[in-house]
Structure 1
Amino acid sequence: VWDASTLRILQLYTCLDQIQHIEWSSDSLFILCAMYKRGVVQVWSLEQPDWHCKIDEGSAGLVASCWSPDGRHILNTTEFHLRITVWSLCTKSVSYIKYPKACQQGIAFTKDGRYMAVAERRDCKDFVSIFVCSDWQLLRHFDTETQDLFGIEWAPNGCVLAAWDTCLEYKILLYSLDGRLLSTYRAYEWSLGIKSVTWSPSSQFVAIGSYDEKVRILNHVTWKKITEFEHPATITSTKTIVYKEVEKSPSVETERLSFPPTRALASSLFSTQSKYDISQVPVSLPFIKPVADRANPKMGIGMLAFSPDNCFLATKNDNIPNAVWIWDIQKLKLFVVLEQLCAIQCFQWDPCQPRLAVCTGTSKVFFWSPAGCVSVQVPAEGDFQILSLSWHSSGDSLVLLSKDNFCVCYLEKE
Structure 2
Amino acid sequence: MDISDRVDGAHTTPSPCGRYLAYVQDTRLRVSTLSAPERHSNEFNIKKLPKEILSIIWSHDSNRLATVSHTLIEVLNVSDASSRVRLDNGGGGLGHFSSAVFLDTDHLLTIWEFGRGRIWNLTTGRSTEIGEVKTTCSGSSYCMRPNPSRHPSNILATLFRVAAEDVLSIHFVEQSKSMPKATLPSADAQDLSWSPDGRWLAVLDTPTASVNVLFYTPDGHFYRSYTDTSCVDDRGLGIKAIVWSYDCRKVALARYDGGVVLLNTKSFTILASIAHNTAIEHSALEPPHQAPIWREHVSATNERTYSLATHPVSPPLSRSKASTEPSELGVAEMSFSCSGEYLATRDERMQSTVWIWSTQTLSTHAIIIQHANIRSVQWHPTHPELLLLDCGESILYILEVTSSSPPLPITVPIPGTPALTWLNTTIIQPLTILAATKSASRLLFPSGRPTNASPSNNQPSPIPGAETPFDEDTSEDSIMDLLSGRPARSRRSEQSYTERIDSEENAAEETVRLDDTFRAKRRPLEVSAEVDPLDDSQIF
TM-score (norm 1): 0.88
Instruction: State which of 74, 81, 87 in structure 2 corresponds to 1:42.
Output: 74
The yes-or-no answer on 1:217 pairing with 2:257 is no
Q: Secondary structure at the match of 1:352?
A: coil
* 1:102-154 alpha-carbon deviations (Å, 9 max, x no partner): 12201111112432110111011001111123223113521211111000100
Q: 2-side partners of 1:231 and 1:48: how far apart?
A: 52
The yes-or-no answer on 1:26 pairing with 2:77 is no
The yes-or-no answer on 1:242 pairing with 2:293 is yes
Structure 2 counterpart of 1:94, which letter?
S
Counterpart in the other structure of 2:8: none
1:410 Cα shift? 1.1
The yes-or-no answer on 1:158 pairing with 2:191 is no
Q: 2-side partners of 1:95 and 1:357: how far apart?
A: 41
Instruction: State which of 309, 316, 323 in structure 2 corresponds to 1:286.
Output: 316
Instruction: State which of 163, 168, 175 in structure 2 corresponds to 1:135.
Output: 175
* 1:360-385 alpha-carbon deviations (Å, 9 max, x no partner): 0011101112213333333515x442
* 1:258-296 alpha-carbon deviations (Å, 9 max, x no partner): xxxxxxxxxxxxxx2312222112111011358667433
**Residues 230-379 of structure 1: pairs in structure 2 closer than 5 A:** 230-238=275-283, 239-250=290-301, 272-289=302-319, 294-353=324-383, 354-369=385-400, 370-371=402-403, 372-379=405-412
Q: 2-side partners of 1:47 and 1:388: how far apart?
A: 28
Q: 2-side partners of 1:148 and 1:319: how far apart?
A: 27
Q: 2-side partners of 1:12 and 1:145: how far apart?
A: 50
**Residues 16-165 of structure 1: pairs in structure 2 closer than 5 A:** 16-17=48-49, 18-36=52-70, 39-58=71-90, 59=92, 60=94, 61-68=96-103, 70-81=104-115, 83-102=116-135, 103=137, 104-113=139-148, 114-165=154-205
**1:344–1:361 Cα contact (<8 Å) kept:** yes
Structure 2 counterpart of 1:351, which letter?
P
Q: Secondary structure at the match of 2:114?
A: helix
Q: 1-side partners of 2:55 and 2:180: how far apart?
A: 30
1:63 Cα shift? 1.1
The yes-or-no answer on 1:12 pairing with 2:33 is no
Q: Secondary structure at the match of 1:322?
A: strand
Q: How many residues align?
A: 388
Q: Secondary structure at the match of 1:208?
A: strand
Q: Secondary structure at the match of 1:2?
A: strand
1:91 Cα shift? 0.6
Q: Secondary structure at the match of 1:197?
A: strand
1:221 Cα shift? 2.1
**1:364–1:386 Cα contact (<8 Å) kept:** no
**1:361–1:385 Cα contact (<8 Å) kept:** yes
Q: Which moved more, 1:156-165 or 1:192-201?
A: 192-201
Q: 2-side partners of 1:275 and 1:135: how far apart?
A: 58
How many percent identity over aligned positions? 22
**1:359–1:386 Cα contact (<8 Å) kept:** no
Q: Which moved more, 1:157-166 or 1:393-402?
A: 393-402
Q: 2-side partners of 1:309 and 1:294: how far apart?
A: 36
Structure 1 counterpart of 2:85, which letter?
C
Structure 2 counterpart of 1:198, which letter?
V
* More strand per residue: 1
RMSD, aligned α-carbons: 2.0
Q: Which moved more, 1:308-317 or 1:169-178?
A: 169-178
* 1:297-349 alpha-carbon deviations (Å, 9 max, x no partner): 52211211111111100111111111111100001111111111111111211
Structure 1 spans left out of the alignment, 5+ residues:
251-271
Q: 2-side partners of 1:323 and 1:15: how far apart?
A: 45
Counterpart in the other structure of 1:265: none
**1:346–1:389 Cα contact (<8 Å) kept:** no
Larger Rg: 2
Counterpart in the other structure of 2:239: 194
* 1:171-229 alpha-carbon deviations (Å, 9 max, x no partner): 00100112222111111376122222110112111101111100001111221111110
Instruction: State which of 223, 247, 251 in structure 2 corresponds to 1:206.
Output: 251
Q: 1-side partners of 2:179 and 2:358: how far apart?
A: 39
Structure 2 spans left out of the alignment, 5+ residues:
1-30, 149-153, 284-289, 448-473, 478-540
Counterpart in the other structure of 2:11: none
Q: 2-side partners of 1:215 and 1:410: how far apart?
A: 34
1:55 Cα shift? 0.3
1:249 Cα shift? 4.8
- Consecutive aligned runs of 4 or more in structure 1 exceeding 6 Å deviation: none
Structure 2 counterpart of 1:177, which letter?
P
C-alpha spacing 1:194/1:404, structure 2 compared with 1 (3 Å): farther
Q: 2-side partners of 1:203 and 1:236: how far apart?
A: 32
Q: 2-side partners of 1:392 and 1:179: how far apart?
A: 32
Q: Secondary structure at the match of 1:63?
A: strand
Counterpart in the other structure of 2:417: 385
Q: Secondary structure at the match of 2:100?
A: strand
